[in-house]
Amino acid sequence: MFDEIAGNRRRSYLLLFVFVLLIAGIVYAFGLYFELGQYFVVPAVIFALLMSWGSYYYSDKIVLAMSSAKPVTREEEPYLWNTVEGLSIAAGLPMPRPFIIEDSAPNAFATGRDPQHAAIAVTRGLLEKLNRLELEGVVAHEMSHVQNYDIRFMTLVTVLVGTVVLLSDWMMRSLWYGGGRRRRSGGRGGNPLALIALIFVILSPIIAQLMRFALSRQREFLADASGALLTRYPEGLASALEKLSADKEPLEAANKATAHLYIINPLTEHRGKLNSLFSTHPPIEERVERLRGM
């Protein structure tokens, strides 16, 4: 179990490092094409890194509002409150604010930039369809997202993806409007390196999205392992994942902006290895197999 957690953390941070290199590569390719010099990459990368830390302060409030999640008290929902409180004590964390989504499809997510500003939202269907041990497994998974700073981490990754897409779009427009004039005036348009740079800029948004999906899947594996460690009962989460996967009721509260946050993505299904590359979550079968192998 500890090896699983350590391995997922290493792979996640390695992918994040490659993300920064991708941004540097895009800017370098642009500088190469327009003969701006290699030092052009330095201020652009610094700008990208600064952007990545500046846009997450109000993400929790926005996500909860978009999901129609309502805060609850101990008196209103003692079953949920006691579960979240007990696991937060076991994890040594401030208690996340419990929220309920009045939707009969079973699912849950965590949000908040750090443990002091965290919230865990569960659907009414999750409370009604899972037993106590399964509910603890799901809440422990979401608590692990809080403990591992996954929300902050994936917000950072999302900003980096947005930076890559914006840089690529800006550079393509520059190449389209400025590159043609340079070729007509004898610029670097015929340089093989410039052609490679152009291809790299075109492909970079696709590469960035694939890396975001890979990072998201690694954080789900990490939360599964950390949650199993927290409850000391991997079977609870494994059984919950099987129930959630078998339940075909649509989650009406979910949308494309919030679907990746849930413990099971309510908007996608896995149909083979290639399709899983474009998913924010690993296949349920693989997650259950790993949990039962701990």
Instruction: Convert the pLDDT of each residue in 241-253 to its tens digit.
Output: 999 999 989 898 8
| Residues 69 and 142 occupy one common structural domain | yes
Confidence of residue 218 (pLDDT cuts 50, 70, 90): confident
| Residues 138 and 243 occupy one common structural domain | yes
**The predicted structure's pLDDT at residue 57:** 65
**The predicted structure's pLDDT at residue 37:** 54
| Residues 27 and 65 occupy one common structural domain | no
In this prediction, residues 29-36 reach a mean pLDDT of 65
In this prediction, residues 92-98 reach a mean pLDDT of 94
Give the largest Cα separation in the chain, rounded. 76
| Residues 206 and 268 occupy one common structural domain | no
For the chain, give the percent of residues with pLDDT over 90.
38
Which contiguous run of DSSP H or E holds residue 69?
Answer: strand 69-71
| Residues 163 and 183 occupy one common structural domain | yes
**The predicted structure's pLDDT at residue 212:** 77
What range does the domain containing 195 cover? 2-55+151-216
Check if the beta carbon of residue 228 is closer than 8 Å to that of residue 1. yes
Q: Which of 216, 245, 268 lies at the terminal end of a domain, its last residue?
A: 216
| Residues 63 and 199 occupy one common structural domain | no
How do residues 101-137 score in pLDDT, each as one tens digit? 999 999 999 988 788 889 999 999 999 999 999 999 9
**The predicted structure's pLDDT at residue 83:** 96
| Residues 106 and 250 occupy one common structural domain | yes
How do residues 219-237 score in pLDDT, each as one tens digit? 899 899 999 999 999 999 9
The C-alpha atoms of residue 172 and residue 105 are separated, in whole angstroms, by 43
**The predicted structure's pLDDT at residue 184:** 47
Q: Which of 162, 196, 216 lies at the terminal end of a domain, its last residue?
A: 216
Lowest mean pLDDT among 2-16, 80-94, 163-177: 2-16
Q: Which of 216, 239, 257 lies at the terminal end of a domain, its last residue?
A: 216
CATH code, domain carrying 81: 3.30.2010.10
Q: Which comes out higher in pLDDT, residue 26 or 274?
A: 26
| Residues 25 and 76 occupy one common structural domain | no
Q: Any idea which residues carry the catalytic annotation?
A: 142
| Residues 99 and 161 occupy one common structural domain | no
In this prediction, residues 154-176 reach a mean pLDDT of 69
Count how many domains the chain has: 2
| Residues 160 and 192 occupy one common structural domain | yes
**The predicted structure's pLDDT at residue 227:** 93
| Residues 240 and 209 occupy one common structural domain | no
| Residues 29 and 128 occupy one common structural domain | no
In this prediction, residues 26-46 reach a mean pLDDT of 63
Q: Mapped to the 3 state alphabet, what secondary structure does 98-146 carry?
A: EEEECCCCCCEEEECCCHHHCEEEEEHHHHHHCCHHHHHHHHHHHHHHH
